[in-house]
Amino acid sequence: MNGFLISLLYKNSPRDLRMIMIDPKRVELDAYNGIPHLLCPVINDSEKALNALKWSVAEMLRRYDILK
């Protein structure tokens, strides 16, 4: 997974790629904290993760409506 993430980060500017990273294990993604592509720090808390996923779905639906 790290190879995939690094490839995305390398090939896309923060203007073109914004990410939300959720790391329930608290060990795999903390190294990405502070990169400019993140919309928020890496999420480790389950309640914050749920809120981030709900926001992501709402944002996806908003964008679908724009493209109609």
Model confidence pLDDT, tens digit, residues 4-35: 999 999 999 999 999 999 999 988 999 999 99
Under 8 Å between Cβ of 49 and 22: yes
pLDDT value at residue 1: 85
pTM of the predicted model as reported, rounded to 2 decimal places: 0.85
Handedness of CA 50, 21, 27, 1 (dihedral sign): positive
- Please provide the average confidence, as pLDDT, over all residues in the chain: 96
Reading the block at residue 4, the tokens are: 């995939």
